[in-house]
Amino acid sequence: MTEATLPRYERVLADQVGTSRYAAKRCLDLVLTAGLLLVLLPALLVIGLLVRVGTEGPVLYRQERVGARRRRRDGGSV
């Protein structure tokens, strides 16, 4: 099967559980993700500060990578 003939996961899920349940699940996922990000943000900032103080390089960096068919792409550390 090619990518064009495969149904998207979101469409299959919406068809199986109904549109309203899918929307509720999506909202719950977003709320939980935002809450987890807020909880982890202080720890991530401390880790970033420790990396910045403890090493010479930047916390986040960009590096050129060679991908499929020897195509070059700019990839970051994130």
Q: Write out pLDDT tens, residues 47-70.
A: 999 999 998 888 888 888 887 888
CA-CA distance, 59 to 51, in Å (whole number)?
6
- Contact present, 72 and 60 (Cβ < 8 Å): no
Beta-sheet strands, E only, within 27-71:
62-66
pLDDT at 77: 58
What residue spans define the domains of the chain?
9-76
Flag whether the pTM goes above 0.85: no
Read off the pLDDT band of 73 (50, 70, 90): confident
Q: Which residue has the higher pLDDT, 15 or 18?
A: 18
Q: Which residue has the higher pLDDT, 10 or 46?
A: 46
3-state helix, strand, coil in the chain (%, to 5): 60, 15, 25
CA-CA distance, 26 to 10, in Å (whole number)?
10
